[in-house]
Amino acid sequence: MKNSVFNLSDYLVKSGTVSLKTLKRVEMLYMEDNTLTLEQALIKEGVVTEDQIYDLMAKKMHLPLVDLTSYYISDDVAQLIPEQMMEDLGVMPLTIEGNYLLIAMTNPLDYKAIYTLNNYTKRKIKTAICTPTQLKIKLDEIFSVSDKEAVIDEAQEFVQSQMKKTEDTVSTEDQEDIEDQPIIKFVNNMIAEAVRQRVSDIHLEPQEKKLVIRFRIDGKLIKYMDSSKELAPSVTSRIKFISGMNIAEKRIPQDGRIHYNINNQKIDMRVSSLPCVYGEKIVIRITTALGMKLDKKNIGFLPENLEKFDQLLTSSRGIILLSGATGSGKSTTLYAALSSLNTEDKNIVTVENPVEMVLPGATQVNINEKAGLTFASVLRSILRQDPDIIMIGEIRDQETADIAARAAITGHLVLST
């Protein structure tokens, strides 16, 4: 376990926040993990919350704990320090008090950061404490909004200028510079922002007088932005192009896929288009990074529920069904379970429509109903492939349910939603 700069273990026990027995259990559990401190391990295990840790830290150090979510920071103050420096140092400028600058820090013992800020701003530094989660939210709030508005304006100006031209007047030079076009920047910015906010789905909805873009975060749809209706055809065409759809076909629904690279992380996205009254509605489902190994401990299980889930996964037969709302984490939980079961002595086969995440070592089958490759027909074939574990993307009819149940009682572990 990585050494903690805060040394809160005694303080946690004395305050009654954590029992000594629990503390020792978590220490033993993460003894070989050199990436986490004790405080981070306790938060990961759900023993304490981030807010509790930082509240105790503030009391121990006699520093104010700032709630950044409700704290107004003026533009003048926010511009004192570059965004990248704030991210790197884990700081947020709050107010100017004479020659002093009040800074909220995730690590108030980082004296090197304080020295750097003192030299950069030419002001004396006063410190307060803030949580990493609130810092990230505030950074997104301050910087993404201004960037977003600039990209929207640029894209709308471009579309208006293009509407004035005819296809005959577009030069070869214009075609060659297409990668620099504002529409591409607009789409790239939207996807990058969605990934940063951990969005599960992006909805682009053309309406009579505007284009509405909404993000689904933690199961709820939240409006990301409104833009002019003139922007809709260009944005739709760009998304259809990069997802491998037919741009000219606008009368029927289409499906596509995008492999995106953001911060050296490969992101896989499923794209669906649906013709509607005012154009085509686009929904982009963002899945976990390609080939990423999911960990059951990191997806939100309470310790007691994780123990029960682990017990279920040790069975060599039976069926585990997951249910929940859209975007609640059903597929993520299935893949986390498969990742933990994916060993050399297990034959894992998945049947999905379509394959959402790549799982190295497993056999994954894409359903193709037009070609007669249905869940039921694939399952019959799978049972002749000597599987140990079968994952069915979804059970949507009686025939599939019957085959899944028969597989579960004849020596196979079946997972599905």
Q: How would you list the strands of the sheet with 348-352, edge to edge? A: 318-321, 413-416, 389-392, 348-352, 363-366
* Same structural domain, 178 and 272: yes
Token pair for 12: 């946690």
Helix (H) or strand (E) holding 77: helix 75-78
* Same structural domain, 246 and 262: yes
Instruction: State the Cα–Cα distance between residues 380 and 372, nearest whole angstrom.
Output: 13
Report the 10 Å Cβ neighbour count for 2. 13
Q: Domain containing 118 — which CATH number?
A: 3.30.300.160
Instruction: State the Cα–Cα distance between residues 293 and 357, nearest whole angstrom.
Output: 10
194 and 286 Cβ atoms separated by less than 8 Å:
yes
Q: Check residue 78 and give its pLDDT.
A: 85
The domain in which residue 178 lies consists of 138-289
4 inside domain: no
* Same structural domain, 330 and 409: yes
92 and 86 Cβ atoms separated by less than 8 Å:
yes
95 inside domain: yes
90 and 110 Cβ atoms separated by less than 8 Å:
yes
Q: Check residue 178 and give its pLDDT.
A: 46
* Same structural domain, 284 and 316: no
Helix (H) or strand (E) holding 56: helix 50-61
Nearest C-alpha neighbor of 214 from the set 72, 327, 341, 79? 327
For residue 354, whether the previous peptide bond is cis, meaning omega lies within 30 degrees of 0, is yes
Q: Model's pTM, two decimal places? A: 0.54
Strands 348-352 and 363-366: parallel
Q: How would you list the strands of the sheet with 210-217, edge to edge? A: 220-228, 210-217, 201-206, 279-289, 265-276, 254-262
From 269, 289, 309, the end of a domain falls on 289
* Same structural domain, 144 and 263: yes
From 267, 289, 311, the end of a domain falls on 289
Q: Check residue 150 and give its pLDDT.
A: 62
Q: What are phi and psi of 32, to 5 degrees?
A: -90, -5
* Same structural domain, 242 and 146: yes
* Same structural domain, 51 and 94: no
Q: What's at 84, amino acid-wise?
A: Q
80 inside domain: yes
Instruction: State the Cα–Cα distance between residues 201 and 271, nearest whole angstrom.
Output: 10
Q: Check residue 238 and give its pLDDT.
A: 92
Q: Which residues contact 265 (CB under 8 A, 6 or more apart)?
A: 289
76 inside domain: yes
From 130, 155, 173, the end of a domain falls on 130
CA angle 132, 138, 144 (to 5 degrees): 125
Strands 254-262 and 265-276: antiparallel
1 inside domain: no
Q: Check residue 176 and give its pLDDT.
A: 37
Q: Check residue 175 and give its pLDDT.
A: 39
Q: Check residue 366 and give its pLDDT.
A: 85
Q: Domain containing 301 — which CATH number?
A: 3.40.50.300
* Same structural domain, 223 and 276: yes
* Same structural domain, 201 and 223: yes
Q: What digits encode the pLDDT tens for the residues 96-147? A: 988 899 999 998 888 899 999 998 888 999 999 999 888 988 887 777 654 5
Report the 10 Å Cβ neighbour count for 49. 14
* Same structural domain, 319 and 401: yes
Q: Check residue 259 and give its pLDDT.
A: 82
2 inside domain: no
* Same structural domain, 347 and 372: yes
Number of structural domains found in the chain: 4
* Same structural domain, 337 and 395: yes
**Which regions of the chain are under pLDDT 50?**
146, 166-180, 290-292
Helix (H, G, I), strand (E, B) or coil at 287: strand
377 inside domain: yes
